[in-house]
Structure 1
Amino acid sequence: MDPVSGELKLFLDREKIRDCLARLARGEDRRDAALIRASCWPDSTSDYGVFAGNFDEYLAWVVPGSPAIPVTQHVLGQSYFEFDGALDGDRACVETQVISYHRVDFSVEHRDTTIGGRYLDRFERRDGEWRIAARTMLYDWFQDSGVSVDWSQGVMGMPFSAPHFSGRAVGDHSESFFAKGKAR
């Protein structure tokens, strides 16, 4: 393989892996089992420190998710890639920075929490498709920001014109946005 073709292939492989990471983050935030299934191999494993298990156990943990966490958002940062050494390799180790926000319902109040960490993912390409074969979460920091803002009041003293502007894990406005935008 000529050097340009090899570099282009690595670029495309990295983009496919980034797409997979974004699809999984969206799947977790929207509690969308189909997106999560499209991101992990059925024989994959996950270890988040507070949960460890096989793919079916992980999926049952994430979907429908805890009703005590009505809003989540995973913001992905840079990823560092190491492929298995060959340009046509089918394995990659990937570290991705992540900041995750969680609104947690403590019965008496909702609190905003943020976690900073890194995903250590072992990716495998099977039949031309990259998915996660194993994930470990590393935690670098945690912050409890206190009582959550009351979104029913709008933002910065200005009321929302409709209730769909505040995000939520299930029933989020983005679901209908993408459903309406699908090619017919």
Structure 2
Amino acid sequence: MEPLVQRMIDREAIRDCIARLARGEDRRSADLIRACWWPEARFDYGVHSGDFETYLAWVVPGADAIKDTQHLIGQSVIELADEAAQAETHVFSYHRIDMGKGDRDTCIGGRYLDRFEKRSGEWRIADRVMLYEWEQDWGAAADWSQGVMGYPFSAGHFTGRANGDYSERWFAGHVG
């Protein structure tokens, strides 16, 4: 049973790393992102590629035109090989952008192809390639700052990261 349990633990650690990275990207948090990549890692997103520091400078603080993002992570297929692994993970990413004509909402569907390495018991990304399946421009962005679907918000923290990140206080236990 022990090798099977270790493979399960390794797969969960890899999935956790992918989720933490998406969280870091959505918050443009260099600390969260850095904890998911090995320093000498490489990336290729088709529209931008290079080493990890190039990636970090691209994502943090991010383009002024990209006001909000949300990455939804789908299923991962993970193949383990001792202290290395390959993972294909589906991703659906939302972006609110302003290219000079007002806010627009866009979405991209694709897959991350990640090569992971385990060092000192920790899994991190050593290489990532982004494959694109589709992109959709949803048009002019709706103003959801005061509520959704015609209903007003009952408190300011419901507006997400645009109004400070309530989840940071929630995880820290500072909400009552």
Pick from 22, 36, 39: which aligns with 1:39? 36
Pick from 14, 17, 22: which aligns with 1:17? 14
CA RMSD, aligned part only?
1.7
Deviations 1:40-83 (A, max 9, x none): 00000111111101011111111111121111010111101112
- Give the 3 Å change call, closer, same or farther, for CA 173–105 of structure 1 in structure 2: farther
Where in structure 1 are there 5+ consecutive unaligned residues? Answer: none
Q: Which stretch of the first structure deviates more once superposed, 25-34 or 104-113?
A: 104-113
- Give the 3 Å change call, closer, same or farther, for CA 170–153 of structure 1 in structure 2: closer
Report the counterpart of residue 150 of structure 1 in structure 2: 143
Report the counterpart of residue 80 of structure 1 in structure 2: 77
- Give 4+ residue runs of structure 1 displaced > 4 Å after superposition: none
The offset of 1:177, in angstroms, is 2.6
Partner SS state of residue 113, structure 1: strand
Pick from 112, 122, 130: which aligns with 2:115? 122
One-letter amino acid of the structure 2 residue matched with residue 29 of structure 1: D
**C-alpha separation between the residues in 2 aligned to 1:46 and 1:65?**
16
Q: Does 2:106 align with 1:96?
A: no
Report the counterpart of residue 136 of structure 1 in structure 2: 129
Q: Percent identity, please.
A: 61
**C-alpha separation between the residues in 1 aligned to 2:162 and 2:133?**
24
**C-alpha separation between the residues in 1 aligned to 2:162 and 2:85?**
30
**C-alpha separation between the residues in 2 aligned to 1:170 and 1:92?**
38
**C-alpha separation between the residues in 1 aligned to 2:91 and 2:51?**
22
Scaled by the length of structure 2, the TM-score of the pair is 0.93
- Give the 3 Å change call, closer, same or farther, for CA 16–169 of structure 1 in structure 2: farther
Q: Does 2:152 align with 1:159?
A: yes
- The number of residues matched between the two structures is 175
Deviations 1:123-176 (A, max 9, x none): 000111000000000000111111111113411111123333123368332233
The offset of 1:106, in angstroms, is 2.6
- Kindly indicate whether the alpha-carbon contact (under 8 Å) linking 1:48 and 1:137 is maintained by their aligned counterparts in 2: yes
Where in structure 2 are there 5+ consecutive unaligned residues? Answer: none
One-letter amino acid of the structure 1 residue matched with residue 101 of structure 2: V
Q: Does 2:52 align with 1:55?
A: yes
Partner SS state of residue 42, structure 1: strand
- Kindly indicate whether the alpha-carbon contact (under 8 Å) linking 2:96 and 2:104 is maintained by their aligned counterparts in 1: yes
**C-alpha separation between the residues in 2 aligned to 1:92 and 1:117?**
20
**C-alpha separation between the residues in 1 aligned to 2:99 and 2:138?**
14
Q: Does 2:170 align with 1:177?
A: yes
- Give the 3 Å change call, closer, same or farther, for CA 162–26 of structure 1 in structure 2: same
